Amino acid sequence: MAPRTTVLVTGGAGFIGSHTCVELLDHGYDVVVVDDYSNSSPGALDRVAKIAARPPVAVHELDLLDRRALSRVFDEHRIDAVIHFAARKAVGESVELPVEYYDTNVGGTTALLRVMRDHEVHRLVFSSSCSIYGAAARVPITEQDPAAPTNPYAASKWLCEQVLADTCRHLPELSVLALRYFNPVGAHPSGLLGEVPRTAVPNNVMPYLARVAAGRLPGLSVFGDDYPTADGTGVRDYIHVMDVAEGHRAALEHLDDESGMRVFNLGTGQGTSVLELVAAFQRACGRPIPYEITGRRPGDVSALVADPGGVARAWNWTTRRDLAAMCEDAWRFQECNPSGYPD
């Protein structure tokens, strides 16, 4: 019997990383996780093991900037491919902490590439972001539309893509798939795994809505109602986290299609405004969500909606879950885990 493929998942205890670990384990992959738990919890990996009925092969607590520690992970395990999630990810915070964002996101990626090169690992799925498109001139957005990042988080992801493209030109044996996914929300349908922000006030809208619905926060701040959209609030392409996880697994299966750097959007192609999202979450939880309109947030744009046709044509893959499922699963996780994961 051929050995199973071993995948290193950086940031594997995070929101998207943990759901992707479940997806990989469910499909027969062996998984090695590295995470520094700066924005995640070891409890997430306990839940991963429970859902998948088997734990990751190993979990290593380390910072990707520590190349010696990362190199020891590659020495210890026969890594066949890497899925790279580990990064800082809050738009607003990045405006306040630009140096930290470039250091972690770009520096972590270059450190990973150097260790991969030293250990002759040539297959990488990179967790990129739709935010690199910035204030796009049109929606839906295709992979051919120009990058125009409007905040340090987005700029750091764009720089990582440039580093990866340059590295692929230098190392022709390297195969990289960069996935520009849109706004991941929801939770595992079991209610065991979801998004648990480490901050008292979540940076992302769905966990914020869940805490408002649970009575843990007084109301949602809607950042601006004067955008050129139907109701004046920002429009985003929300995608279920399980679809994001499945998309990363599909990318892993298509890494060998060709070498070099390829980029794909992951999204539904459906735009939802903030107020439409509030209404959908109210239906899911069965209670009102108080909110107030405040000023625009620095770095935000009016609309980001994917054209998902590229990945559909290349892999015959599309998302499967709608907005109602995103809200229902997120609310189920909140009800089952009112205080997040146990320490």
Rounded Cα distance, 212 and 220, in Å: 7
Which segments of the chain does DSSP mark as H helices, in order? 15-26, 42-52, 67-76, 91-96, 98-101, 107-118, 152-170, 205-213, 241-253, 274-285, 309-315, 323-336
Measure the CA–CA gap between 88 and 107, rounded to whole angstroms. 12
Do residues 40 and 13 lie in contact, with contact meaning Cβ atoms separated by under 8 Å? yes
How far is 73 from 77, CA to CA, in rounded Å?
A: 6
DSSP 123-169: EEEEE--GGGG-S-SSSSBPTTSPP---SHHHHHHHHHHHHHHHHHH
Structure tokens at 55: 């734990």
**What DSSP string runs through 268-305?**
-S--EEHHHHHHHHHHHHTS---EEEEPPPTT--SEE-
Rounded Cα distance between 236 and 148, Å, is 17
Catalytic residue among 133, 153, 181, 227: 153
Answer whether 74's CB lies under 8 Å from 121's CB: yes
Q: Is 318 helix (H, G, I), strand (E, B) or coil?
A: coil
Looking at residue 100, its amino acid is E
Q: Is 153 a catalytic residue?
A: yes
Q: What dihedral angle (degrees, nearest 10) is formed by the CA atoms of 233, 239, 241, 245?
A: -150
Residues marked active site are found at 153
